[in-house]
Chains A and B, each alone.
Chain A
Amino acid sequence: MADRLAARWWIVPVTAAGIAFLAALPLMVSAYTVSLLISMLAYTSLATSWAFFSGTTRYISLATAAFVGIGTYTVALLSDHLPLAVVLAIAPVVGFVIALGVGLSTLRLSGVYFVIFTFGLAELIKQLVIWYEINQTKTLARYIFVNASGTLIYELLLATAVVVISGVWWFSRARLGYALRVIGEDEMVARHSGIDTTRVKVLVFAATSAVMSLVGAVLSLRYTYVDPNIGFNSLVSFQVLIMALLGGIGRPWGPALGAIPLVLLFELLSGTFPHYFSIALGICFVVIVYFLPGGVMGLIDRGRKWLLPALRPGRGP
């Protein structure tokens, strides 16, 4: 592995240059483009962290919307009282703690039970917030008065995305990544080979959920107005899932490859044919499962194998 890394020494300067270019991008493009880029970065972080847990362990989580909403509401509740940096530091902690509780009670569920529970969790939190707002505060809406420019949001999300992708890259090569993959292959085997499956699952679930809350908190700076239906929009969970699947979940940068085209597609759809959004989302699901099982990454891998069989003599198909 050290040899392979040494042979790819150029990756470091190229990545650094790429990040520097992305960081400078808001100075060069229009405000509309910046807002589009903000969505791409946000969904890249969400899809990458989703894929790190759900993609490797095969526990399909639809709780993304719940944790994004927790971040949003942390900002809505605290931004009047505390400095922005503190609020943004609190949001992932809240997400982490809640995810820890949820994980401990539900991660022994498998398959469809977990899917439904996480979907229900997002809806449950939304219902409780609606009920609380109507009965206690007597108003459904909250206002967020924070002076944050599009550029600031962009840079924060860029930093998040860089940290998330490099974190996933690092951990998938570490013991933790192997443990997750073994759990995904066969949980029984994982337990028998000495992996504390519950601890690994719960910790990774909580950590990736914390990232989702952070992204939700940063994104909320864009809004001036938020209500439970915006904050806990369950479509976000499905969009993140489909982005990760389109990109391919085996590689750290796979989900990003799915997030970018789908953000563009959804933006185009909601601008031109808002009613067909749901149909398009559904067709995306079906097409990806039937025709792109490994996502774009899988397609690239297959293309490589087909084009360059001679270059990889040691590996069978």
Chain B
Amino acid sequence: MIFDVVLSGLVVGGMYGLIALGLNLQYGIARMMNLAYGEALMGGAYTAFWLFMLWKIDPLLSMLVSVPVAFCGNWLIYRYLLTPLVRRAANQDILEADTILVTFGLLFVFQGLALVQWGGEYRGYTYLAVPVDVLGAPVALNRLLAMGAALVLGLALYWVLRATRVGGALRAIAIDPVAAQLVAIDVPRLSALAFATGGAIMAVAGTLVSMFLSFNASIGIVYTLKALIVVIMGGVGRMLGCLMAGLILGFAEALGAWLVDPGLTLAINFALFLLILLVRPQGLFSRG
């Protein structure tokens, strides 16, 4: 029984780690709080769903469509909706308020479009729902696949950031965008790249989530919220911290659902969030 909890925590937690990584690219490196972040997940999930239902196309292949679309869409949003706000804003607070409002607007537009197109009901499909024996406990193959993909992608991203030239430049921007410019890093271009990559990661996460969880048009904000909680737990701009924090949140949810009530997972999210606020506000909440 406890093993089931650990496993389910690992699957969900891996997913949270992945979406938090993407948000960290957007908020930690490109320094834009994108509250429409979860809508890319919703889009990825619907793409996988419709391609699978209409033409029996493998959900993994559907990423060939959803990921480039999410990448370009997020790049366009960054370049043409958010960058003008940077130029206009008198100070950081005004910029933050403006981006929050605009991305809230985008959130409602995307959610509304999905609602008009596909209705509000929950969707799901059966894909690779074969039980696999993991140390004596049966686990659906789709969950294992999702967890594996999330961890591989998360670690690959971490490696890119740690070991490549572009990754080094991105980390420099995360630490200090002004100083990064002084050492000949093209900050606007790389920030846009980081922002767009964050969106693309969310489309991958959407595809993976759709394999084993049902979703609807208004699911985006829930994942945005969770990603944000994880980013705050793990630290803005810290990639490995995010993966760890994602796993912690996943375990906490699984444990809470098992010990208390599955209806209280959101409450557990916020309890954790508050706890971190009370215990380590300064370290985790410092603006880099």
A223, B127: Cα distance in complex, Å: 44
Within 8 A of B (CB), among A236-273: 238, 241, 245
A275 touches B116 (CB 8 A): yes
A120 touches B225 (CB 8 A): yes
Q: Which size class do B's interface residues fall under? A: 35 or more
Q: Is B278 an interface residue (CB 8 A)?
A: yes
Query: Contacting B100 at CB < 8 Å: which of A60, A127, A131, A135?
Result: A60
A109 touches B285 (CB 8 A): yes
Most chain A CB within 10 A, of B93, B105, B228, is at B105
A112 touches B96 (CB 8 A): yes
A127 touches B106 (CB 8 A): no
A278 touches B115 (CB 8 A): yes
Within 8 A of B (CB), among A105-145: 105-106, 108-109, 111-113, 115-117, 119-121, 123-124, 127-128, 130-131, 134-135
Q: Is B136 an interface residue (CB 8 A)?
A: no
Q: Is A5 an interface residue (CB 8 A)?
A: no
Query: Contacting B266 at CB < 8 Å: which of A60, A124, A289?
Result: A124
A120 touches B270 (CB 8 A): yes
CB distance from B34 to the nearest CB of A (A): 10
- CB contacts (< 8 Å) of A311 on chain B: these are none
Shortest Cβ distance from B101 into A: residue: A289
Shortest Cβ distance from B281 into A: residue: A108
Q: Is A283 an interface residue (CB 8 A)?
A: yes
With A115-B100, A120-B225 already in contact, the answer to whether A286 and B285 are too (CB < 8 A) is no
B267 touches A127 (CB 8 A): yes
* Interface residues as binary, B249-288 with A (CB distance below 8 Å gives 1, 0 otherwise): 0000000000001011011011001100110010001000
A285 touches B108 (CB 8 A): yes
Most chain B CB within 10 A, of A60, A241, A284, is at A60
A113 touches B232 (CB 8 A): yes
A275 touches B112 (CB 8 A): yes
Most chain A CB within 10 A, of B101, B115, B269, B281, is at B101
Q: Is A18 an interface residue (CB 8 A)?
A: no
Most chain B CB within 10 A, of A120, A121, A284, is at A120
- CB contacts (< 8 Å) of B269 on chain A: these are 120
Q: Is B111 an interface residue (CB 8 A)?
A: yes
B97 touches A58 (CB 8 A): yes
A260, B10: Cα distance in complex, Å: 50
A286 touches B225 (CB 8 A): no
B225 touches A282 (CB 8 A): no
* Interface residues as binary, B86-130 with A (CB distance below 8 Å gives 1, 0 otherwise): 000000010011101110111111111101100000000000000
Q: Is B33 an interface residue (CB 8 A)?
A: yes
Query: Contacting B109 at CB < 8 Å: which of A108, A241, A279?
Result: A279
B105 touches A285 (CB 8 A): yes
With A112-B96, A286-B102, A289-B105 already in contact, the answer to whether A127 and B263 are too (CB < 8 A) is yes
Within 8 A of B (CB), among A91-112: 105-106, 108-109, 111-112
Query: Contacting A277 at CB < 8 Å: which of B102, B104, B112, B232?
Result: B112
11 examples of A-B residue contacts, CB within 8 angstroms: A60-B100, A60-B101, A111-B93, A127-B264, A128-B264, A130-B263, A276-B112, A279-B113, A284-B105, A286-B102, A290-B102
Contacts A275-B112, A279-B109, A286-B81 aside, 6 further interface pairs with beta carbons under 8 A come to A105-B277, A113-B285, A127-B263, A127-B266, A131-B261, A279-B112
